[in-house]
A and B are shown apart, each in its own frame.
Chain A
Amino acid sequence: MSKYYLNYLDELESEAIYVLREVWAQFENPVILFSGGKDSIVVTHLARKAFYPSKIPFSLMHVDTGHNFPETIKFRDDLINELGVNLIVGSVQESIDQGRVAEEKGKNATRNALQITTLLDAIEDNKVDCAIGGGRRDEEKARAKERFFSHRDDFGQWDPKNQRPELWNLFNGKHFEGEHFRAFPISNWTEMDVWNYIKRENIQIPSLYFAHEREVVWRNNSWIPNSDYLILEEHEAVVTKKIRFRTLGDITITGGIESDADTVEKIAQEVAAMRQTERGNRSDDKRSETAMEDRKKQGYF
């Protein structure tokens, strides 16, 4: 006689698969927003499970800032090959060249905010009506208010005060032409859940998540990787440290932490003992108290 209840990971997995199938059933042309980070990798893995033995019926969309970790790009291309799915790349560099956006100036300039325009252009150009993201409600206070199915107007904007009520598991993806949705299958997962799931399912992740030696610079309370895009301040020095990354974004804004965790088991243990949130090392979130809310309203991931 077996037990007739699910454990928390099975429950989260089942919920995410339900959301992905609902996206497939309710939209014409959905894509998975794929950054090469662990959350979008988990979403892709869940999509594989949701539609097996069929192939994943979505394209993967990558917004390429041009400021990538080389490891991320290789990982992305290998995964695309393995899954046999289509890849759409939106290039921030092209948006800059076309004059759609201008590079930020100043010391902490990044291409983070520029991605919004590239993302919305890619969504429009490819007639995408639902972009599936790996956003989680535990990440940040504005994300805590997200729906599973989140409406975007024809300017790609989110109106957090006027969201559709979402009851039970009845999702309403109806929209007018030009509008689109964002769907968040792993809304209810925490960072710890993601790691426990990666461990259980033995999901491949980029080597950047594991402890490795790297040239880094101490800036804004974290270790920023040395790269061609980094302009050193006078008092700053490049040193080599054993570090790993808790989240992956642009190479210019993603800070590493010192760590010896070189297996998923060790990472899961380390994360369980962490006293800082994972986005604490993301300078894009540190700009103001409502940095995420402000970007999300404009159409950010």
Chain B
Amino acid sequence: MLDNNQLLRFTTAGSVDDGKSTLIGRLLYDSKSIFEDQLQAIENTSKKKGHEGVDLALFTDGLRDEREQGITIDVAYRYFTTPKRKFIIADTPGHIQYTRNMVTGASTANAAIILVDARHGVIEQTRRHAFIASLLQIPHIIVCINKMDLVDHSEEAYNQVIEQFEEFSSKLLVRDIRFIPISALNGDNVVNRSTNMDWYQGAPLLHTLETMHISSDINKVDARFPVQTVLRPQREGFIDYRGYAGRIASGVFRVGDEITVMPSGFTSKIKTIDAFNESLDEAFATMSVSITLEDDIDISRGDMIVRSNNTPDASQDLEVMLCWLNDAPAKPRAKYTIRHTSNEQKAMIKEVIYKIDINTLGRISDDKTLGMNDISKVKIRTTKPLMVDSYRENRTTGSIILVDDATNETVAAGMVV
């Protein structure tokens, strides 16, 4: 495996009916990522269930309940590697009641695969998936038009889906979108190029995943360093060492850079950037490093080191697109713990501006309740300022979660507008 191979995370949304499990099984099987004992186990189960041949969909079964009910309940992560890249699949269920899982899987993804059944075209579920992918700002969307074998591999059927998709997707904020006609069942255009669809000139799915440009997916412009913890070894050779440890959220830092610590506003210069016992001249997102400064200033977890000529907003009033993730609905004007990077404060939902009808993608302004799977635009007030960028520009410094202090559960996830 080449040393400079990158890691690509993608999410697959869809239900069993779309052939999502079959597609993942096909990707793993054809890229030779399935081991003999796994295959054996699946063959046994396929026989037990009376299926003809090996049911590739069984590869993605996880928990006991999922095996029994034949559904995906929770996000499952799968891994495979090709000579070009390492891949992490966040396999999420597609039903409406699992919006929260789709959002979870989408939060860290470089790419989303959206499955459309060629026979049915774009349906409500497709629109929902595309909307969530755009809301979570997944940089690349790949629409796989599946079951092409059931529409005689017809180019017309393929073009019709593209047309339907573009009709509504023009309203979404999507940077990169591609369409691939596939048959997951037969393996057409998944790993290997289909011989049944000569009219399709594009690349098969795996080749697309292996070659798409992803190094610009992370913001390399705005230098942001949330401090996770302070390293003070107080041992020989390092008596005065005071390193600020964290993972660079975005941008590039160099030794000598003039920096500002937020929210205090103190300024200094970067003295060293350390990664274990190595000193670096520069470091970029998403490296985990330890930064030391020329001056002794008071910095602790939750503070953010940024370049002085490019600072985020320090604000107590946020407008946020909020996904509610908990069975218990939001309590009006209740206080929650808000987590943003390494910062933690108290917050209150002051106002629900509108709610989104996830099926029509229209706005609902007369219903202000926030229940499980609801997506709404809200105003949040925090007790102390948070150093935020808009989520559109920065997925790390533009995201928050809310925690209910009564249960300690994560009840909502939000994207700063």
Say whether A231 faces chain B, with CB atoms less than 8 Å apart: no
Q: Which of B171-179, B239-247, B349-357 contacts A (4 or more CB under 8 A)?
A: B239-247
Q: In the docked arrangement, what's the CA distance between A275 and B104, Å?
A: 32
Number of B positions contacting A (CB below 8 A): 79
In the complex with contacts A167-B401, A172-B339, A10-B228 CB distance below 8 A: no
Does B4 count as interface, using CB distance less than 8 angstroms? yes
A206 at the interface (CB under 8 A from B): no
Contact of B396 with A by CB under 8 A: yes
Contact across chains for A165 and B325 when beta carbons are under 8 A apart: yes
B47 in the interface (beta carbon within 8 A): no
**Restricting to A6-61, which residues have a CB under 8 Å from any CB of B?**
6-8, 10-15, 17-18, 21-22, 24-25, 48-55
Flag if A165 contacts B104 (CB, 8 Å).
yes
Stretch at the interface among A74-82, A186-194, A232-240: A186-194
State which residues 74-102 of B face A: CB under 8 Å: 74-79, 81, 85-86, 88, 100-101
Chain A interface SS verdict (over half): loop
Distance, CA A55 to CA B241, complexed state (A): 13
Q: A residues within 8 A CB of B41?
A: 289
Contact with B along A157-195 (1 / 0, CB 8 A): 000110111111110101110000000000110101100
Across the interface, do B81 and A192 meet the contact criterion of CB distance under 8 Å? yes
1/0 per position for B221-256, CB-CB distance to A under 8 A?
000000011011101011001010111000010000
By the criterion CB–CB under 8 Å, are A276 and B76 in contact?
A: no
Contact A50 B62, CB 8 Å, known A21-B288, A145-B75: no
Question: B340-376, CB under 8 A of A: which get 1 and which 0?
Answer: 1110000000000000000000000000000000000
Contact of A141 with B by CB under 8 A:
yes
Distance (whole angstroms) from the CB of B411 to the closest CB of chain A: 9
Q: How far is the CA of A13 from the CA of B86 in the complex (A)?
A: 14
Asked if B35 lies at the interface with its beta carbon under 8 angstroms from chain A, I say yes
Residue interface mask A138-166, B partner, CB < 8 A = 1: 10011011000000000000001101111
Q: List 29 A-B contacts (CB under 8 A).
A: A4-B220, A8-B85, A8-B86, A12-B7, A14-B247, A25-B301, A48-B276, A50-B288, A51-B245, A52-B274, A53-B237, A53-B277, A141-B63, A144-B62, A144-B76, A144-B77, A160-B63, A161-B65, A161-B74, A164-B410, A167-B103, A168-B395, A169-B247, A172-B401, A172-B408, A174-B403, A175-B408, A187-B77, A293-B63
A residues apposed to B, CB below 8 Å: 2-8, 10-15, 17-18, 21-22, 24-25, 48-55, 137-138, 141-142, 144-145, 160-161, 163-170, 172, 174-176, 187-188, 190, 192-193, 196, 274-277, 280, 289-290, 293
- Measured CB to CB, the residues of B under 8 A from A are 1, 3-7, 35-38, 41, 61-65, 67, 73-79, 81, 85-86, 88, 100-101, 103-104, 107-108, 214-215, 218, 220, 228-229, 231-233, 235, 237-238, 241, 243, 245-247, 252, 274-277, 282, 284, 286-288, 290, 301, 325, 337, 339-342, 395-396, 399-401, 403, 408-410, 413
